[in-house]
Amino acid sequence: MPATPIDAAATPAPAPADLRAPRGVDDTGLPFLFLVELLSKVLFQRGQVRLPELASHLKLSVSVITPLITHLRNEKLCEVTRSGHSGTDADLTYHLTDAGAQRAIACLNRNAYAGPAPVTLAAYVAQVEAQSVRHLHVTRADVQATFHDVVASAAVLDQMGAAMNSGRAIFIYGQAGSGKTFLAERLCGLLHGAISVPYAIMIDGEVVPFYDPVQHRALASWETDEDQTRMLDARWVRGLQRPTALTGGELTLEMLDLRFDANTRLYQAPPHLKANNGIFIIDDLGRQRCSPLELMNRWIVPMDRGVDYLSLHTGLVFQVPFDVVVVFSSNFLPERLSDGAFLRRLGYKIEVPPQTQAEYELLFRQACVKYDMEFDAAAFDYLLHALHDKDDTPLLACYPRDLIRQVRDLARYESTPPTLDQRSLDWAWNNYFAGAGARRVAEQQHKQERERREASIPLHTGRPG
């Protein structure tokens, strides 16, 4: 009976980070001379180095490094000396000759990277696809678990949870102080599973450092078999949380491009590239030094096609995956910031409204607990009706914490226990809203709200797409 052929699609190829460690130069996917140059730069910077130390630094096996050392020695670029007394190869140390040092300096002048061996761009693209954020499945139970200690509208949380399943961009808007940024940052708790990232990526002979210990943090719950891990390709950092990158008014268009520092001779990957397989939050949209239209036009192709285009300082343009949930947070309505062509690409537009009275009281009680203060129902009622209602000030999520802090500060100054009463709340309110200017602040907020609603004067120019 003839054997039934196995459908190759039923057994997908393993992700690059799950492959065995390269046993030879060809297995690395990197050119032989590229690895020779990388090894030369490491020897130049570290001086005399033993073979196991080189393997640990480059994240390559000894069987890969040995032919590179042999090539350097044959070219009179490297020498070996014995520095121990064990009589084994463990005593051997390698260092560059004068000619080798000159060659290494020339290599460093082109690209000063001398860290772990990179992976190829193709391997990185395959790994991003294997752990794509679009494969995530977020349920209401996940949202309830992640936001269990957050006071927010259930409708808003449902919108956010459903939006995470779309894999598309999210636009969160509302008044300043409504809690938009706080909610956006908590979305990272909905990202499940560990990911792997490379130490660096090679693109057309250039090396772009990628792994960032600040952004790529270890997943506490990740368990691994150390014996099995030692057999895998060490050029990948495994067991990491899905990244969350946050940028605000400091964001410029230049920051979204691959940058090459002419002084250090090193590349710096843009923040959205490091955020692949995670979330990229653009906070306070509309306050950047570039216009909202320019910033959003930069995102149209990546958001639409799932790819971005970057360029090396040599002029080569290359394609990279754009696998991030982009979250825009703004005080403005979406219509004020962009045109129809971009708005169609925003999967979800979610408004974060002021708190209800019940939510506001819960936030106030939480603030009292945090700052060791006893909640007083009469004082809270005074805050609502004698202060908020008088000035028609909305119940924003930031006010309870900020006002309680003011009460605590006064108690510290007077060396008395912090107490919620009419006197302390009046004092905090007048400080926070500049005394008699409270009504003016409220009127300004309402004016801004009307402008957001009317959107009669758009902040962008140009025709709709």
Confidence of residue 118 (pLDDT cuts 50, 70, 90): very high
Q: Which residue has the higher pLDDT, 405 or 330?
A: 405
* pLDDT exceeds 50 at position 374: yes
* pLDDT exceeds 60 at position 435: no
Q: Which of 142-146, 165-169, 184-188, 278-282 has the lowest mean pLDDT?
A: 165-169
Domains by residue range for the chain, with CATH: 16-114 (1.10.10.10), 122-351 (3.40.50.300), 357-432 (no CATH)
Within 13 Å of residue 96, how many CA atoms lie on the same side as its CB?
A: 20
pLDDT of residue 446: 61
Q: Which of 9-23, 98-112, 163-177, 283-297 has the lowest mean pLDDT?
A: 283-297
Averaged over 182-190, what is the pLDDT?
Answer: 91
Q: What is the overall mean pLDDT for the chain? A: 87
Can you point out the beta strands (E) in 182-302? Answer: 195-198, 200-203, 206-209, 236-240, 244-247, 259-261, 266-268, 278-282
Q: Of all residues in the chain, what percent are helix, strand and coil, respectively (each to 5)?
A: 45, 15, 35
* pLDDT exceeds 90 at position 102: yes
Please count the residues of the chain: 465
Averaged over 39-46, what is the pLDDT?
Answer: 95
Q: What is the percent of the chain where pLDDT is above 70?
A: 88
Confidence of residue 459 (pLDDT cuts 50, 70, 90): very low
pLDDT of residue 304: 82
Residue 384 tokens read as 């609502």
Averaged over 224-252, what is the pLDDT?
Answer: 87
What digits encode the pLDDT tens for the residues 133-153? 988 899 999 999 999 999 999
Rounded CA gap, 127 and 197, in Å? 8
What does pTM read for this prediction? Answer: 0.84
Averaged over 337-362, what is the pLDDT?
Answer: 84
Side chain identity at residue 21, one-letter code? A
- 226 neighbors 211 (Cβ within 8 angstroms): no
